[in-house]
Amino acid sequence: MHNKCLLMKWLWRYGQNEAGYWKEIIKAKHGIHDHWRPKMSKDPHGVGVWKHLSSFQNEFFQKVYFKPGNGLNIRFWLDKWIGGTILKDSLPMMFQIATNKEATMAQYRVDNIWSPIFRRN
């Protein structure tokens, strides 16, 4: 249990630290999915700790939610934010026709109005 807690703490620190030499090394070696999510390692060997750490991402993100702030790092449809819900699950039909499923809250906010873009059938 201690190891699991420590690994989740490192995932938290990864998202919180904008700059850090250790984060730059991880991004250079493994790539980055977004601000909070490093890419999952696909290398079958030689990555030990990072592969183990990244295996906890799904569980980690089930336990956290985000306060919007400026919305630059929170995905509108895919992240849990205030209320603890994920919009893609609450509004599946709207998610299905959204043109940018990975958009951040900031990308969808225009003049303080939510403006997601949907495709027409």
Q: Residue 23 is part of which domain span?
A: 2-63
* 79 and 33 inside one domain: no
Query: Which residues touch 15 (CB under 8 Å, ≥6 apart)?
Result: 35, 36, 37, 73
Highest mean pLDDT among 61-70, 72-81, 99-108: 99-108
* Whether residues 70 and 56 fall in one domain: no
Per-residue pLDDT, 74? 82
Say if residue 71 is in the same domain as residue 57. Answer: no
- Mean pLDDT for all residues in the chain: 77
Question: Is residue 113 within a helix (H) or strand (E), and if so which, with residue range?
Answer: strand 113-114
Q: Are residues 56 and 73 in the same domain?
A: no
Domain boundary among 44, 63, 82: 63
The model carries a pTM of 0.56
Are 54 and 7 within one domain? yes
**Do 59 and 96 belong to one domain?**
no
The Cα 110–Cα 121 span in angstroms is 24
